[in-house]
A = this chain, B = another copy of it.
Amino acid sequence: MNFKNIAILFLIGTVSVSCSQQSDSTQTARSESQTSPVFSKGEKITNDNFVGTAWLNYLAEADTVHNVNIGLVTFEPGARTNWHYHKGGQILLVTEGKGLYQEKGKPVEIIEMGQVIKCPPNIEHWHGATLTEAMTHIAIGTNTNIGGAVWLKPVTDEEYNAI
């Protein structure tokens, strides 16, 4: 996922101390009786690399020291990325709900909270919510020193509804 294309979206609240800390200041410490999310969903994505309504909270920008970028992406029901691939690969940590993941030429997979998906470099794929349920994942773009996401065509309604 190329977060550089989403340059106008930025973290809600930052705290800068020593070793480059950021905080999502809209969150308070969670107790057992609270169900507020750990990270806010951020800003609505407005570029054309997604179909439907999706949100991005850019947790960590790529830099030349760590060579990863990290974003929290929330897909409302029916929302999904376009087909795309990552020059350096990607790892998804599904943190809420149920969603879909598909690689080119392979069947669609259901992905759920608690799952970890490793996507190798240059494998065309898409991911998103189901038609009826939202899904949130932490998306870690790896080896950003090699390159980022390359965006392709949308997942059409025909493709998506046939699942």
> Is A67 in the interface zone, CB < 8 Å from B?
yes
Interface hits, A34-48 → B, CB 8 Å = 34-35, 38-40
B65 touches A89 (CB 8 A): yes
Contact of A21 among B89, B109, B120, B143 (CB under 8 A): B109
B68 touches A27 (CB 8 A): no
Whole-angstrom distance between the Cβ of A13 and the nearest chain B Cβ:
9
Number of copies: 2
A116 touches B67 (CB 8 A): no
Contact of A91 among B26, B30, B70, B95 (CB under 8 A): B70
> Is A87 in the interface zone, CB < 8 Å from B?
no
Interface hits, A105-163 → B, CB 8 Å = 106, 109, 111-121, 123, 125, 138, 140, 142-143
> Is A4 in the interface zone, CB < 8 Å from B?
no
Chain A residues with a Cβ under 8 A of chain B = 15, 17-27, 29-30, 32-35, 38-40, 59-60, 63, 65-68, 70, 89, 91, 93, 95-98, 101, 103, 106, 109, 111-121, 123, 125, 138, 140, 142-143
